[in-house]
Amino acid sequence: MSNDQPSLFDEPADNAIASAVVKTRIAHLKAQLNTANHAYYVLDDPSLPDAEYDRLFNELKELEIQFPSELTTDSPTQRVGGTALSHFESVTHEVAMLSLDNAMNEAALEDFNRRISGLLKTEEPIEYACEPKLDGLAVSLLYENGVLVRGATRGDGSEGENITQNVRTIPSIPLKLLESEGLEIPPVLEVRGEVYMPKKGFDAFNENARKNDEKLFVNPRNAAAGSLRQLDSKITAKRPLEFCCYSLGRVEGAQLPNEHHKILEQFSDWGFKINPEMAVVKGAKGCIEYYEQLALKRDGLDYDIDGIVYKVNDIQLQRQLGFVSRAPRWAIARKFPAQEEMTLLEDVEFQVGRTGAITPVARLTPVFVGGVTVSNATLHNMDEVERLDARVGDTVVIRRAGDVIPQVVKVVLEKRPENAQKITMLKVCPVCESHIEKVEGEAVARCSGGLVCAAQRKEAIKHFASRKAMDIDGLGDKIVEQLVDENKIQSFLDLYNLKHETLSNLERLGDKSAQNLLASIEASKKTTLAKFLYSLGIREVGVATAQNLANHFLEIRSLVKADYDALIEVDDVGPIVAKYILSFFSEPHNQKIIDGLLQIGIEWPVIEKKSQDELPLLGLTYVVTGTLSVMGRDQAKVYLTELGAKVAGSVSAKTHALVAGEKAGSKLKKAQDLDVEVLDEPAFIELLKSHGIEHAS
């Protein structure tokens, strides 16, 4: 029951007359559940998390038990699901597709086992077939003489929807049953199971939808349901759906095994997919142990499950136990902690990641979901905020699966208050107050203060000191982290002011190591313009691009003053990279750091403009791929640019030659298909030597 509702269960049962407050509450619960059923089963747009639906359903069920006079045939407790969609042909199930009662905890499961033992009048441990409860859409498949003739949804349990053309598109559903020696195919066979969308398929589908500005699915279950209810089966065929069977509907003209588990194994022989996690156990203890084992595996499975189904394995005992109004007596489900819950979005804060990415984070009224209490959830980026239409004050659905960061997946618009506040992106970084930039076509906004932003400081300094940048030998990641954590350095510039005493007092860094590191820092002042540009960590400016910039502008002042038009004239610099460079050099913080680095003595040889005679590869395009043993790919690209070549990232008809190391892959194949010259590493080294570059070998 919701916390804001008064408890009604303390009232004495009165079979004749229920109080006005009880009648009002029952009517309210029916309306809520009917609305939720319609949203889930008809609109494919769930309005309530499963856990909230279960709470409301159980509350209504308890009230109807206490006040039987209020139980009516239109109650959601007397039906399995929603009505069939009007635009599909209706199908009547000859054997009703019932749902299952739930065991909310171990005690309820033990009660179920005791009840079964009592009904069967036995003290022997009951054998149960245990199966993961797949989170998808239940369907019925009808085969006549081994050929698929009909597929139907469960609908309300008695009547569903004809989705034959859609289920035929699912590869894991056999259109004709497999035949094997000694295995009789029944004249009529109805198989039941779950259509679901695996996690990888779901993630890929949503990513593609996000790129195309299309509707995203809330979760894999919603995706499976929406895919099966497409009027055009060609759309369904494009969705990554799978089917896993879990029970027999009916069979005519053939004898099946007398154990549920063996029936499913026979289904497997006929070509159906069954769940590999199934097991047969004995008694409540076996059921509990299975639950614990599968709970550990749950997050590693490639499909969503929301619990476990336990069924009495012996079919004869199933028949003896029979059914209650809406569920079999011989089966029960036990759910895992809910992965989705509703809570209040109290505020939004913006966090800065180590690469400068600005992420809106929802501050929530704490809620228990996925086995832990969650008070924060990611909103990913502002594009996602706008897609969700999330506002401060909204009631939102939170999803947490395993170790995945909790995320806001849906806004419950019906609960939006009038004073809900729109969420807007900050203008400046909340950490360093540098301006925030968002490149057209990208979803992520970023802080532009890479050299001074504390949130990015560690990664920026590690990059600055790396071998391909300033090459400060001995300044490893652990030392950088210690220096930053102890507030000894705040930027690149502070590296050059470090004292021996400061370094020698660091953990694992003695007197000799401190001396060597100081010497390495001093030696790094002698560098090249290309390495210096690369060390600054400008987005998308790698080793080769830095070399191209150096070769083009010759000195740093010209580069800093360059406008957009000048930048895009440089090989390997397109519109996006040009904007990143402009943004970086326009930031006052970055200018101050660069000036400081130059003032403390960082320098490089003057670059003379080369004549065309000194650029023998001018006008030629090379591509470098694979693993080079004598030099890295970045160094190979630098040598090529020094000789005037343009280095591209992909092979095309305009490519002059491909430098191919070991494991060259698809680029090598494409070059061969296009009859592009291919140079292995020895041939490439000979090319460099022929143009005066000797130290490559």
Give the whole-angstrom CA distance, residue 559 versus residue 553. Answer: 6
pLDDT for 4 beyond 60: no
Distance between CA atoms of residues 688 and 697, nearest Å: 9
Query: Distance (Å, rounded) from C-alpha 140 to C-alpha 625?
Result: 51
Structure tokens at 486: 């102890």
pLDDT at position 6: 39
Do 433 and 455 contact (CB within 8 A), yes or no?
no
Question: Among this protein's residues, is 133 annotated catalytic?
Answer: yes
Averaged pLDDT, 186-194: 96
89-108 pLDDT per residue, tens: 888 998 888 888 888 889 99
- Whether the full predicted model's pTM is greater than 0.75, yes or no, is no
Q: Which contiguous run of DSSP H or E holds residue 523?
A: helix 511-523
Helix/strand/coil for 386: helix
More confident residue, 521 or 39: 521
The confidence score (pLDDT) of residue 38 equals: 58
- Measure CA of the first residue to CA of the last residue in the chain; give whole Å: 75
Residue range 604-615: mean pLDDT, rounded: 80
What's the pLDDT at 5? 42
Residue that wins the pLDDT comparison between 178 and 508: 178
Looking at the DSSP bridge assignments, the partners of residue 436 are 447
Residue 669 binned pLDDT confidence (cut-offs 50, 70, 90): confident
pLDDT tens per residue, range 46-99: 778 888 888 898 898 888 888 888 887 667 776 444 454 456 888 899 888 888
pLDDT at 43 over 80: no
Q: How many CB atoms lie within 10 A of CB 202?
A: 22
Within 10 A of 513 (CB to CB), how many other CB atoms are there?
15
Among residues 23, 121, 133, 199, the one annotated as catalytic is 133
Over residues 205-231, the pLDDT tens digits come to: 888 887 777 777 878 888 888 888 888
Tens digit of pLDDT for each residue in 435-483? 898 877 677 888 887 767 878 888 888 899 998 899 999 898 889 888 9
> b vs e for 622-632, b when ≥16 Cβ sit within 10 Å of the residue's Cβ?
bbbbbebeebb
The closest of 569, 567, 547 to 559, measured between CA atoms, is 567
Mean pLDDT of 517-538: 93
How do 127-134 and 159-161 pair as beta strands?
unpaired
Task: Read off the pLDDT of each residue in 552-559 and give the average, rounded to a whole number.
Answer: 91
Check whether 534 has a pLDDT greater than 80. Answer: yes
CB-hemisphere CA count at 13 Å for 395? 14
Mean per-residue pLDDT, 550-564: 91
User: What domains can be seen in the chain, in order of their start residue?
Assistant: 1-78 (1.10.287.610), 106-335 (3.30.470.30), 340-422 (2.40.50.140), 454-599 (1.10.150.20), 612-690 (3.40.50.10190)
Q: Which residue has the tokens 């859409």?
A: 137
- 66 and 21 Cβ atoms separated by less than 8 Å: no
Mapping DSSP onto H, E and C, the string for 281-337 reads: EEHHHHHHHHHHHHHHHHHHCCCCEEEEEEEECEHHHHHHHCECCCCECCEEEEECC
Place of tokens 């889930």: 40
pLDDT at position 402: 61
